Chains A and B, each alone.
Chain A
Amino acid sequence: MRATLAVVLFSFSAAALAADAGEIKVVQGSAHIERGTARLPVKVGMPVQEADRVVTGADGTVGITFADNSLLSIGPSSSFAIDRYVFDSTTHAGKFDSTLSKGTLAVVSGKMVKQSPDAMRVHTPSAIMGVRGTDFVVKVTDH
């Protein structure tokens, strides 16, 4: 009985906590998500997943809260991809790789960076940013 209940509790929490990388919390102006071949309009409350790309128009901004409480926001005329997102809500271990191809990005790092300092990296076309528990902004300019 105890074993059964433990399994039920475990599978419940795993299903509840590990499903999505994060959730869209803020949207203004035009923005969409490229997911595989689909192009989805961005709405508040929409989940984001590994391999999603968020693209904003000239008037668009998007804010996302991730499972580990990392906060990211994407400025106008930007393209941002979630390359990898893994987070264990029990141990706080994880991996978060993302790429800003163009535009602006603001980041407030979350729990996984506190657990292991090299867990979160932001890539741009010519650099890799390793994040050690901080707030920062990035801008990529296309020449």
Chain B
Amino acid sequence: MPVLVVAVMVALAIITAGPSETVTVLPSADGHVGTVVVQRGETKQVLHQAYATSNSGQAEVTVISAGAVQSTYGKALHALPAAPATFLLYFVTGTDELTDESKLELDKVLSAMRTRPLPDVLVIGHTDTVGDPDNNDRLSAQRAETVKGFLVGVGIPAERIRTAGRGERELLVPTGDDVDEPRNRRVEINVR
């Protein structure tokens, strides 16, 4: 057997021995395509277009079809959890009473919860800068608890809902002290 053929066979054996991997970048739900940098020893491949694929043992980046992705990864992709959803609800000044608009928004929060088999919910209360900071800590915690109470009332298990009060520390709209700003009187609800 010629030496060259033996050398090629040895090289192939080295390349194909052990595990190999393939990586494909996908467009996200909103169409955005980010970047994956694949590092193998000293070589680096940058994937930054939809369906760009890096295979171990191949110097070139290839592009595969959406159908090929489905046939290899369909089961894994099907098991991806629902994307976390965030909602903002607003309050009447100085109170833990929701504005009329935000009462309607609660329906959207509930439907996000119903599409998840076991949702976990984080409710974070905030205030504007009217009043003193200690009172606002209490008011923000009260707002979060009020929303939690509502969610428990419609059947979400209490142990799946965590609450926190951030007072006037995290203003959505930056203002000076003692400014009545409706957009800062809010709770943020994260449903996952």
Interface residues in chain A, defined as those with a beta carbon under 8 Å from any beta carbon in chain B: 1-2, 5-6, 9, 12-13, 16-17, 23, 25-26, 28, 44-45, 61-65, 69, 71-76, 78, 100-102, 104-106, 108-109, 124-143
Contacts and interface: CB of A to CB of B under 8 A. Distances in A.
Contacts of B16: 143
Interface string B13-40: 0001111111111111100111111111
Given A69-B192, A143-B20, A75 B26 contact: no
Contacts of B17: 143
Contact of B137 (A5, A65, A75, A101): A5
Interface in B60-86: 69, 72-73, 75-84
A23 B19 contact: no
Contact of A127 (B38, B83, B116, B164): B38
Contacts of B180: none
A49 to B, nearest CB: 16
Give the 10 A-B residue pairs with the shortest CB-CB distance, closest first.
A134-B34, A75-B76, A25-B81, A61-B79, A73-B79, A132-B35, A133-B34, A130-B37, A63-B79, A135-B26
Contacts of B82: 25
B133 interface: yes
Interface of B: 16-29, 32-40, 47, 54, 56, 69, 72-73, 75-84, 116-118, 120, 122, 133-134, 137, 141, 162, 164-167, 192
